[in-house]
Structure 1
C-alpha cells in the first residue's frame, strides 16, 4: 500500500521565536486519544511469533512505510511554533541526576530502532497484509517501557482504522536480527486532534510495550523431541487455548502434546526496554534555533532517482531547527532542520537535543513526519517535525506511568480454566 502525505505548501523561516510566552497549556485527558494494540499476553505472543517465525521471514520481507513527501517552500512566513508554557525537560534513563552536554563526536544511540507493523492490502478481507517499518526510539518512563515515533507510524489514517496491526519495536534491528529482543506494543497514545482530524501539528505517538522477547534457535520451532528446552509444560486449559489461537496459523505449531503432557513454545523474557537500551529524555517548549541530532533509518530515493540510503543501518544528521508551516496538513506549528534524509524509513526518526556522546543520551525534541525539497532541485534537503509543546507533554504524561509486564511464557490465568 502507498499512502501520500501532500505537503504542497510548506513555509519555512529561520527567524527566532516571538517574544513572550503564551499562557501555560497542556493536553487534558479529553485531548488524549488512547487505543489498544495487543490487549493481552496471548495476543502479544501471537504478534511476536508472526514476526520471528520461519527465521524472521516477515521481518526481513518488510519494506519502509512508503510515504512520499514533496514539500516546497514558496515564501518566507512569520508563522510557526511558539511555546505554550515554560520550557521543560524529562531526564533520560540513567541520566536523572546529570546534565547532558553537547558533543561533536557521534556514537549512535542504542535507544533507536525500527517499528514494524502490518497494513491491509486491498478491500478483500482475505488479502494478505503488507509489512512495513518506520524509525522510533525508547524514551524515559516510570516502567522503562515507552516508545516514541510519528503518529502515522501507529495510527492508520489511510483506512481510518484505529491503529496499525501487529505493532512491534526492535531496537538495533539489522537484517532479521533482534539484539535486544522484540517489544510488542500494548497501548498507543496520541493527541485527540491527530486521531480525529489528522492535525499535522500533533503527528506524534507514544506506545507502551511489553517486556522484550528473545528466542530459541532464532525463532525456528522444532519438535519437542528435538528441542525440549524451548517448550514449557502447561495445563490442558492453556494448551487448548493456544491450540485455538493458532489453529489457522500458517507457520509452525506453537503447541504440542507429548506422552500425555501439554506444552507450548516458550519465548525468553528479555527484560524491560529501558533497562536494556536506555531511554532518551524529553524536552518541550524549547527555543527554536538550537542544534539537534536526528537519528533514523532513511531509505528510498530522492525525487531525481538517486538512492542515497538503503534503510539497513542507523544514520544521523545534524543541524539547527527553524520554524515551518504546512497548511495542507493543517500544520502551523512545525519545526524543521536541514537534512538529506529521504522520507521512506526515516519517518519517526528521533530529534535529540543536547545529545551526549559518552552516555548516548539527550532529550527527544521532535520526530520526523516528512521531508522536503525546499529549493526545487529534486533532492530532499529538509526534515520536518511537530513542535514539542505542553500539548505533547500532556500526551506523554498519559502514557509514561502505565505498566505492561512480561509475555514471555504463556500464563496460567483463571480465565483460561
Structure 2
C-alpha cells in the first residue's frame, strides 16, 4: 500500500516583523474544511480508542508510506512565483523577542506524531489500519493548531473526506503521551488539494481540542477497586456516545454500568496544546535557497534495504532549499532539501526557517510530502515540500482563529452534545 504524502513547516524570527510585511487577502473558495470529531463525546471516544489496553493501538500503528518520483536537483530556473509580499507569523512566546543563534541542535517540543485509522481493513485482525505521520504545533489565536501534510488528514485512497480517529501527540514515544493526547476537531486544506489532489497544495492545518491526561498512563482501574477514578454521567449522555464506543470493550474499559448507573473513566484536561509545548511561527513567500531544519520521525528502509531509521525518536536534517517538481503527483512548484530521511513516517515533517536552537522556535516554511533518490544510488537523498505562498496563508488564516475547548468528562454541558 503506497501513498504520496507530504508537507512541511517554516519558522520566522520576530525581527522580520519590522519589515512591514503584508498579509494576502484570503479567497474563501480556495479553502476546504471538514469536521474530524464534531463534539466532546465523539472526541473522548477517539482518545479512548488510542489509549485502551495500555495504548495497544498507538504502539501497533505503522508509519504512512510514501512513493514519489521527484526531479529535485539544483535547478537554475528560479523559485515559484509569489502571489503577494513575503510574510511571517511569530511563534508562540516569540511575538516580541528576537531569535538568538546557537550551534547546538535542541529538538523542538512542538513536534510529534499524528495517529489515524484508514478503512483498508488489511490488518490481521480485520480492523481499520492504524497509521501515523509527523506534525507540529503552530501559532494560533487559541493555541490549538497543528500543521502536517494533506495526505495525513485527507484519505485520497478512498476519497473519503478525512481520515478517522485523528489525534496529535507531541513528544510521543512508545505509547507514552508526555503532554497529553489532542483530538482533531476541524481540518483545513486548499480546495485544489481536497478536490484535485494538487501536490502543490498538499498541506493541512487542524484545530485540536484541549489535551487529555490519562491516570496511571491510561491503565483503567476497575470500578470496584477505584471508584474515584470514574465519573458518573446520565443515561442520555451515555447513549450519545458513538455506538462503536458503547459496544467496544464493554468489559469496563473506559465505561461501566454499576447499580443501574453509568460511569466513564475521568480523563483530566491537559490544557491547550500551545500552552504546553509552544507553537512554531509561519513564513510564506520566502526566497528559495535559505537553510532550514527538517524535524520528523523517519522510518523504514532506503531502496537498497538499509534501515537507517526506526521511527521511534525525533530526528533532524539541515540544508538549503532549492526548486523541485514531481510530475507523478501533479506538482510543479515544490521545494526540495538534501536529506537522508526515508519516506515512511517522515510525511508531515516540519521545515523550520531561522530556527532558534536555544528557544526551539522558528517559522514553519514547509512540510515533507515525499522523498526521492535523485542520483540513482538506491538511497533517498532529498525531501520535498509544497512552496509556502499566499494561498497557504489563506488556508492557515481560515483555521487560526477558531476555538475548540475541552473534552474532559463530565459531558453534561449541552455544548458538548
C-alpha displacement at 1:112, in angstroms? 0.1
The aligned counterpart of 1:10 is none
Q: Retained in 2: the 8 A contact 1:339–1:380?
A: yes
TM-score calculated relative to the size of structure 2: 0.90
Counterparts of 1:195 and 1:243, CA distance in 2: 27
5+ residue gaps in structure 1? 8-22
Q: Retained in 2: the 8 A contact 1:238–1:412?
A: yes
1:356 aligned onto 2:356:
yes
Give the secondary-structure state (helix, strand or coil) at the position aligned to 1:67.
Answer: coil
CA RMSD, 1 decimal = 2.4
Q: Retained in 2: the 8 A contact 1:211–1:405?
A: yes
- After superposition, where does 1:178-189 map in structure 2 within 5 Å? 178-189=177-188
- After superposition, where does 1:48-87 map in structure 2 within 5 Å? 48-72=47-71, 76=75, 78=77, 80-87=79-86
C-alpha displacement at 1:235, in angstroms? 2.7
Q: 1:26 to 1:3 in 2, by over 3 A?
A: farther
Task: Please give the per-residue CA displacement for 1:44-85, whole angstroms capped at 9, x wherever unaligned.
Answer: 011000000000000000000022234355895626412211
1:374 aligned onto 2:385:
no
Give the secondary-structure state (helix, strand or coil) at the position aligned to 2:246.
Answer: coil
Q: 1:29 to 1:349 in 2, by over 3 A?
A: same
The aligned counterpart of 2:157 is 158
The aligned counterpart of 2:390 is 390
Give the secondary-structure state (helix, strand or coil) at the position aligned to 1:161.
Answer: coil
The aligned counterpart of 1:112 is 111
Give the secondary-structure state (helix, strand or coil) at the position aligned to 1:247.
Answer: helix
The aligned counterpart of 2:304 is 304
Task: Please give the per-residue CA displacement for 1:269-289, whole angstroms capped at 9, x wherever unaligned.
Answer: 000000000000000011111
Q: Retained in 2: the 8 A contact 1:35–1:162?
A: yes
The aligned counterpart of 2:139 is 140
- After superposition, where does 1:251-400 map in structure 2 within 5 Å? 252-253=251-252, 254-259=254-259, 261-400=261-400
Higher normalized contact order (CA 8 Å, seq sep 6+, divided by chain length): 2
* Of 257-266 and 211-220, the range deviating more from structure 2: 257-266
* Of 357-366 and 221-230, the range deviating more from structure 2: 221-230
Counterparts of 1:48 and 1:212, CA distance in 2: 9
Q: Retained in 1: the 8 A contact 2:350–2:368?
A: yes
Q: 1:326 to 1:69 in 2, by over 3 A?
A: closer
Counterparts of 1:91 and 1:74, CA distance in 2: 31
Counterparts of 2:264 and 2:76, CA distance in 1: 61
Task: Please give the per-residue CA displacement for 1:184-239, whole angstroms capped at 9, x wherever unaligned.
Answer: 00000000000000101100000000000011122222221211221112233324
Q: Retained in 1: the 8 A contact 2:5–2:65?
A: no
Q: 1:252 to 1:44 in 2, by over 3 A?
A: farther
Counterparts of 1:238 and 1:154, CA distance in 2: 29
Counterparts of 1:288 and 1:79, CA distance in 2: 8
Give the secondary-structure state (helix, strand or coil) at the position aligned to 1:232.
Answer: strand
Give the secondary-structure state (helix, strand or coil) at the position aligned to 2:307.
Answer: coil
The aligned counterpart of 2:15 is none
C-alpha displacement at 1:162, in angstroms? 0.5
Counterparts of 1:353 and 1:256, CA distance in 2: 49
* Of 405-414 and 300-309, the range deviating more from structure 2: 405-414
Give the secondary-structure state (helix, strand or coil) at the position aligned to 2:352.
Answer: strand
Counterparts of 1:243 and 1:357, CA distance in 2: 44
- Report how many residues are paired: 400
C-alpha displacement at 1:99, in angstroms? 2.4
Q: Retained in 2: the 8 A contact 1:189–1:398?
A: yes
Give the secondary-structure state (helix, strand or coil) at the position aligned to 2:365.
Answer: strand
Q: Retained in 2: the 8 A contact 1:320–1:337?
A: yes
Q: Retained in 2: the 8 A contact 1:79–1:332?
A: no
The aligned counterpart of 1:92 is 91
C-alpha displacement at 1:264, in angstroms? 1.7
- After superposition, where does 1:230-241 map in structure 2 within 5 Å? 230-241=229-240
